[in-house]
Amino acid sequence: MLRSCTAGLRSLWALRGRREGAPRLSTDLQPARRLFSTEKAVHKDWALPNPSWSKDLKLLFDQFMKKCEDGSWERLPSYKHTCTQKNEDFKTYFLDPQLVEEGLSQAQLFTRGFEDGLGFEYVIFNNNDEKRTVCLFQGGPYLQGIPGFLHGGAIATMIDVALGSCAAVSGGAIMTANLNINFKRPVPLCSVVVVNSQLDKLEGRKLFVSCNIRSVDEKTLYSEATGLFIKLDPKKKFNIKEFHSSLRKAAPPLEEAVVSSPALVIHC
Ligand SMILES: CCCCCCCC/C=C\CCCCCCCC(=O)SCCNC(=O)CCNC(=O)[C@H](O)C(C)(C)COP(=O)(O)OP(=O)(O)OC[C@H]1O[C@@H](n2cnc3c(N)ncnc32)[C@H](O)[C@@H]1OP(=O)(O)O
């Protein structure tokens, strides 16, 4: 397992133009490169193969793309910056327009904020009739928890995204109210896993969903989870503008803020 991860890391370094055995560059330690204006204009769909995808991930991707041909399955696109109709609807109905212009200009989707192969590589396929989704996920080296394995928070994030997408297909604008996860086996870093999610029950505004995470050969069950997602009520707009401006008023100098106030770290 560790050997395959090392191989994965080696190919990732190769992709980034780094020679094996070369001294570690200080740039390797820096956070993922941030792009703003150009990417916003391009609206690249990130749920498509890139050179960091392993053979397993590409194979599974091709199999599901074949299933899409008769219309029973569809690939869900994924963007760093909001541009799907669902995201636009969310901003229109639930957020203050001024906040969208000012406060969210640098915002990007958490799971798409890493360079190719280093973080979350995934694609989600949806089967509308069966009310289920399949998420193909390869967790990169920046998602490490215990050496050689994925961080539990990274797994939880992927579960949230997979279950959330399954719920959003039926429910539209939704938010996670509850997640319950059983971590049964550690997930090897850089391996490919399959997250199978399904909508179990729809009760008013409540969507009950569940999923399991398995190895590609289906022999290993890594995790099982259930989630409750709530369809948002347009009458209850989120007033995060007030929250932001009250933070701005109370903001101490940055160095002080980073040390003393976790809320301000989020704000920055
Ligand atoms: C062609 C197809 C295209 C499809 C494209 C799809 C593409 C994919 C798109 C998108 C993918 C999405 C993937 C992203 C995933 C990430 C999501 C997140 O990370 S969300 C951030 C974390 N979550 C929060 O921060 C929420 C914080 N909580 C809240 O804001 C509220 O509590 C909220 C909105 C969840 C509910 O508040 P209320 O005021 O609207 O509703 P109330 O009245 O409180 O609850 C409604 C019902 O739900 C129950 N409920 C609420 N919370 C509950 C809980 N924790 N446990 C049990 N029941 C709960 C209540 O008891 C009530 O039930 P009774 O109707 O009375 O039966």
Which tens digit of pLDDT belongs to each residue from 184-222?
999 999 999 999 999 999 999 999 999 999 999 999 999
pLDDT of residue 156: 98
Query: What one-letter code names the amino acid at 92?
Result: T
Mean of per-residue pLDDT scores for the chain: 79
Residue 170's nearest CA partner among 205, 214, 210 is 205
Average confidence (pLDDT) over 14-43: 40
- Radius of gyration over alpha carbons of the chain, in Å? 20
In this predicted structure, what is the pLDDT of residue 235? 84
In which band, very low, low, confident or very high, does the pLDDT at 84 lie, cut at 50, 70 and 90?
low
| 160 to 40, 103, 114, 176: CA distances (angstroms) | 24, 24, 18, 8
- Ligand 1: which residue has its CA nearest to atom 29? 177
Q: Residue 38 pLDDT > 60, yes or no?
A: no
Tell me what pLDDT residue 263 has. 32
Question: Mind listing the domains of the chain with CATH numbers?
Answer: 2-237 (3.10.129.10), 240-268 (no CATH)
Mean local confidence (pLDDT), 244-251: 52
pLDDT of the residue at 242: 54
Place of tokens 């029973």: 72
Q: Catalytic annotation on 28?
A: no
Cα dist from 58 to 25, 118, 130, 164, whole Å: 30, 17, 24, 24
The pTM assigned to this predicted structure is 0.81
* Token pair listed for 244: 């932001």
Does 88 score more than 60 pLDDT?
yes
pLDDT in tens, 100-112: 666 667 788 999 9
Over residues 119-124, mean pLDDT = 98
pLDDT score, position 27? 30
Average pLDDT, integer, range 119-127: 98
Is the per-residue pLDDT at 267 higher than 60? no
d(CA 173, CA 85): 10
Which atom of ligand 1 sits closest to the CA of residue 232?
40
176 lines ligand 1 (CB under 6 A): yes
199 alpha carbon to ligand 1 midpoint, in Å?
14
CA–centroid distance, residue 33 to ligand 1 (Å): 32
Atom of ligand 1 nearest to the CA of 169: 4
Strand partners for 197: 133, 211
Distance CA 91, CA 100 (A): 7
* Cα-based distances in Å from 219 to 167, 196, 214: 27, 14, 7
**Catalytic choice (62, 160, 217, 233):** 160
Ligand 1 centroid from CA 162, angstroms: 15
For residue 236, the CA-to-ligand 1 centroid distance in Å is 12
CB 109 within 8 A of CB 43: no
